[in-house]
Every structure is written in C-alpha cells, then in structure tokens.
Structure 1
Amino acid sequence: MRILGREPATILALIAICVKLAAAFGWDASTDVQAWVNAVAAAAVGVLVAVLAHDGIGAAVIGFAQAALALAVGLGLDWSSEKQAVVLTAVTIVVGMWDRTQVTAPVPAAAVRSRAKPTAV
C-alpha cells in the first residue's frame, strides 16, 4: 500500500498551504509558529518516508526528535540546554539499541570465531 507514492514533496507543500490557509482564516499564529509547524511536518514526513523505504529510520527518528524539541522550546518550553541534551542523548541511545536488533552481520559469528583460532605450524 502506498501512502506517499513518489511525491512526499507534494504532501509537504499541501501541509504548508493548509497552515497558511488556517492562519489566513482564523488561526492566530505568528510567522515563527507557522515555520515551526512546517519544520515538524517536514521531519515527520522524513520519518514516514524512511519507514516506508526501510532505510535510515534511526537517523530520521533522531532528526524528528530534534525538530520536536526545537518546536517545544520555540513555543515556550523552559528547559535548560542540559535537560535538552539529556533527552536527545536518551533518544539517540534508544534508537541505537533498536537499530542493533535490526542489523544482521554479513558474516556469521561462527566464521569469525574460526578465523580467530591460531593454526599449528
């Protein structure tokens, strides 16, 4: 099932236009807030594309977490840089642990062990 097909840029353009329409017809959002909403939408589409393509999901998730945290801080979240760093570090570690379960070594462990044994001369 294709959700984005070959046009993720079109989806982003649609989101951007919807944000502008909402602002024009009643949503009292500053230009900064609109920019943040579009940035998070771009990060979310990046994650979705990575999931659908089965490629690079870890980096996309970390990028999305960074964008979401930046949005929260931009909208008034009062976290110190230390708290932000701890949260992003935790996200990175969790994604790394998950990635580890998804990666298969190209050479079986038994082959590596057999090469490590010393040979008699």
Structure 2
Amino acid sequence: MAKKIIKTNPNLIELINKLYEQSRNENAAIWKDVAKRLERSNRRTAEVNLSDIARHAEAGETILVPGKVLSNGNLTEKVDVVALKFSAKAQEKIESAGGECIAIDEIIESNPKGSNIRIME
C-alpha cells in the first residue's frame, strides 16, 4: 500500500487549494494539473534550469514551473517564468534578459483561464 503524502507547509497547502478552486470556477484544467504536480513528494518536485527553458521556450512565451527554477544556463530571449520558487541567480538572469519572474498565485489573478501558458518540468 502506498504511503499518502501529507504536505506540512501551510502556504503550499493554501496555494494547492486555491489552484483546485480556480480550476473548478474557471473550468481550466491547467490549474488542476499544476495542483497535482505540487502535491507530489519533495523528491519528485520539479527543478528546471534556465538552459532547459532557453532550449524549449520561444520569445515572449510564459513558462510555468511547478517547483524551483535554477540558474544553470543563460536566457537570450525575453521569457516570462512562473514558478513556486526561484534561485536568486536565476531571478537575476531572467530579469536581465528582459523577462519577468512571477509567483504562481500572482498568475492566477492576472490570467484566471491559464491561457497561453506552457508547463515545464
């Protein structure tokens, strides 16, 4: 029998519940998908390097990382990155490339349907 994963971070629990609620209210499956990815165990939490984002993202695109963005690599194009956490160096590199670092709860407010967002793990 698999062990049920219980999150203890109250901010993360609140964010997951908010994502599920937004998914129901707006009928947007993207928020339910992100909530399920955030519910995973810490070992399976996404960690994405800037080199991966630069390789797969196009200029002006919005990328959502349900985890942490790390600073390995460089961005040459303007890309908006939405994530749970950013390393300090990654945030600096994204902003110097003309992009924006956005928290997941902020993007829910500004883009309730979740349109034109690509999830990356």
TM bucket normalised to smaller: under 0.3
Q: TM-score, normalised by structure 1?
A: 0.26
Structure with the larger strand share: 2
